[in-house]
Amino acid sequence: MRKIEEQYDKLYRYCYSKVKDVYLAEDITQEAFLKYFESAGYREMGKPMAYLYTVARNLCMDEFRRKKHERLPDDLYSDSYEEKILDRLDIEMALDELTPDEREILLLRFADELSVSDIGSICKISRFAVYRGIKKSLKKLERRLSDV
């Protein structure tokens, strides 16, 4: 079994993708680990990573309920950036067209490399729904990026 401490960076990336704030993501990640370690009884009954991500997801949702976040203006990027930055912007715009649930499934699967079973546990959906969501989301991204 993977040591839970080795998962800190993955959980941080997940939290950052939700809240888009470095310091807030660090706080939520740390709080998720604290809650995880405080709940030894429950943790032993199921999959520890799925439980940890569920705690983090709930903390991120709580944060959105507490205050409304503002998006950065679209004109933040100037024309002087390299082609690499423009490609990244295209990808970000394509990801913005996905629903939050679709983005979450892709992040958990490809960035955090979680299993389909774990993703299903975290998102409270079936494995079939996870597979279907991944396929649908990738198709949307492919269509959007081919239009660019």
The tokens describing 37, both together, are: 């370690």
Give the DSSP letter string of the chain: ---GGGGHHHHHHHHHHHH--HHHHHHHHHHHHHHHHH-HHHHTTS-HHHHHHHHHHHHHHHHHHHSPPPPPPGGGS-TTS-HHHHHHHHHHHHHHTS-HHHHHHHIIIIIS---HHHHHHHHT--HHHHHHHHHHHHHHHHHHHHH-
The mean of the pLDDT values for the chain is 80
> Model confidence over 88-124: pLDDT tens digits?
777 777 788 888 889 889 888 888 888 899 999 889 9
Task: Find, among 14, 56, 64, the residue nearest to 36 by Cα.
Answer: 56
Q: Kindly state the percentage of the chain with pLDDT values over 90.
A: 18
- The answer, yes or no, to whether residue 73 has pLDDT greater than 60, is no
Question: What angle is formed at CA 59 by the lines to CA 55 and CA 62, rounded to 5 degrees?
Answer: 140
List the structure tokens of 107.
């992040």
pLDDT in tens, 26-39: 999 999 988 888 87
Does pLDDT of 81 surpass 50?
no
Band (pLDDT 50/70/90 cuts) for residue 1 is very low
